[in-house]
Structure 1
Amino acid sequence: GDKFLGPAALLQAYRWIIDSRDESTGERLDDLEDPFKLYRCHTIMNCAQVCPKGLNPAKAIAEIKKLMVERAT
């Protein structure tokens, strides 16, 4: 679906979410609280295998998911 943000956008979001200087972490996590924006990634790792820069968006997406779970408890 066109609601899925994609690995590059989610990797960039993670970069800001973990930045201790950023004051909008909660807002950023709120924006991702949607079954399609984040959870359409099933951590198959294809994005990491084909990334021309050698980055691992799947790991960042998994970390965002963990933060969402921690936040909910």
Structure 2
Amino acid sequence: MSMPPAIANTFLFEMMKSKSKDVTLAAIYALGEGRCQEENITRELHRLSQSDDMEIKIAAIKALGRIYR
């Protein structure tokens, strides 16, 4: 069963703020697969692209690249 895009994006946005690095990375990857350009999500991805954690930084940059293609 699929979830409406708006609900899925809201869910993934909240998961991106998780304390768990694995959950954050999974949410970033999932958001990057979609074409969501909601300002709050792209703003959070931009913030994460400035992270000190290189893995999160790379994932956020890749997600932004996929969104803007």
TM-score of the aligned structures, taking structure 1 as reference length: 0.45
The structure, 1 or 2, with the larger RCO (C-alpha pairs under 8 Å, 6+ apart) is: 1
Instruction: Return the index of the structure with the highest Cα Rg.
Output: 1
